[in-house]
Structure 1
Amino acid sequence: MRTKVLRLVKRYKIFLLLAVLNVAILTFHPQVGAKSIQLTWSSLLEMLSVLPPIFILLGLLDVWVEKETMIKYMGDNSGLIGVLLAFFLGSAAAGPLYAAFPVAGVLLKKGSKLSNVLIMLGAWSTTKIPLILFEASALGFKFMLLRLVLDIVGIAFISYFIEKMLSKEEKGAIYQNVLTMDE
């Protein structure tokens, strides 16, 4: 029982630290503390509205898409198809960036190439389709196109650079960490 509690405390130490910090701020600076708790509550509600659908979709992806299929389309030998699929997944995705990390974990678990997962994360954060449409209408088509092209080139370069900089052991550790996340 005690080890279970210690494991929970270790796992949620950042959350517990922030909760204590919020209570301390509320105690010593009630106005600031009340605003802090209000913002924390608002952020928690936003996360709870976004994460359940993401986790349902991840569960379906995990069950419906065979590992061999994922390896074929996004694995080490996927080539341009894997890159384009990664860009599409990231650009078409809805939700904040923190929702992309569980998706990245499932993609890695299914055998996706690390650079393709990094491309998906980069696209999720910078090339969302609604953002592109807004930019075209608010800032002009030229600006939107220039930013999009620079983002695509930058994301691809950074993703491949990171993958090439990592040793085989470091990549293996990343994949191993993903496999042990459920434990």
Structure 2
Amino acid sequence: MINIKFILNRYKYFLISLLICIAIYIFDNNLGLDIFDSTKSNIIQMLSILPPVMILLGLLDVWVPREYFMKYMGSNSGILGIALSFLIAFFAAGPMYAAFPFTAVLIKKGVKFSNIIIFLNAWCVTKFSTLLFEIGALGYKFTIARLLIDVPGVIIMGYIVDYLVNKKK
């Protein structure tokens, strides 16, 4: 039997957003159509990115033993774990939402929480494709200056978040 209360609770934010979009469409057809076109475009983009990511993550999960992740990125990994977190993020491709399934695999494999936070932040600020674009658009001096600020900031943030999360436990 379908539990309507569970479904409504689970998808409440989606349903609220949908109702708001419908209300906007009723009051302004053009804006409503723009919203639905943008949503359709985003869904198509996600559906083109996530399946290959999930396949690669499934292979990674099966092929790379947990012990490797724990040895190189686990609680005793030190600078090597930080470097690997940056390296994986540097060569990553795709938007930020593609990082979250990978993060789930890292958690499952026993990676130190600070390295996971470093990975997520590094995904945002140190991806190779983003750096190339930034150098072309803003120049290498700006990019290097930003990296000199962001890289230590990402590491510090990873350890602060790790401390705060573990402090609550």
- Give the TM-score of the pair, scaled to structure 2: 0.92
Q: Give the match for residue 103 of structure 1.
A: 102
1:27 is displaced (CA, Å) by 1.6
Cα deviation code 1:76-129 (max 9, x no counterpart): 011111111100111111011111111111101110000100111011111111
Q: Give the match for residue 122 of structure 2.
A: 123
Cα deviation code 1:138-169 (max 9, x no counterpart): 32222221111211111001111111122355
1:31 aligns with 2:30: yes
Query: Using the alignment, how far apart are the partners of 1:37 and 1:104 within structure 2?
Result: 30
Query: Using the alignment, how far apart are the partners of 1:28 and 1:135 within structure 2?
Result: 40
Question: Which blocks of at least 5 consecutive residues in structure 2 are unaligned?
Answer: none
Q: How does 1:74-93 map to 2 (within 5 A)?
A: 74-93=73-92
1:23 is displaced (CA, Å) by 1.6
Q: Give the match for residue 19 of structure 1.
A: 18
Q: What is the DSSP-based 3-state SS (H/G/I as helix, E as strand, rest coil) of the residue aligned with 1:2?
A: coil
Q: CA RMSD in A?
A: 1.6
| AA of the residue aligned to 2:2 | R
| AA of the residue aligned to 2:101 | P
| AA of the residue aligned to 1:122 | N
Aligned residue pair count: 169
Aligned pair in 2 of structure 1 residues 34, 88: CA closer, same or farther (>3 Å)? same
| AA of the residue aligned to 1:13 | K
Paired-residue identity, %? 45
Query: Using the alignment, how far apart are the partners of 2:167 and 2:53 within structure 1?
Result: 31
Q: Give the match for residue 132 of structure 2.
A: 133
- Give the TM-score of the pair, scaled to structure 1: 0.85
1:10 is displaced (CA, Å) by 2.6
Query: Using the alignment, how far apart are the partners of 1:142 and 1:124 within structure 2?
Result: 21
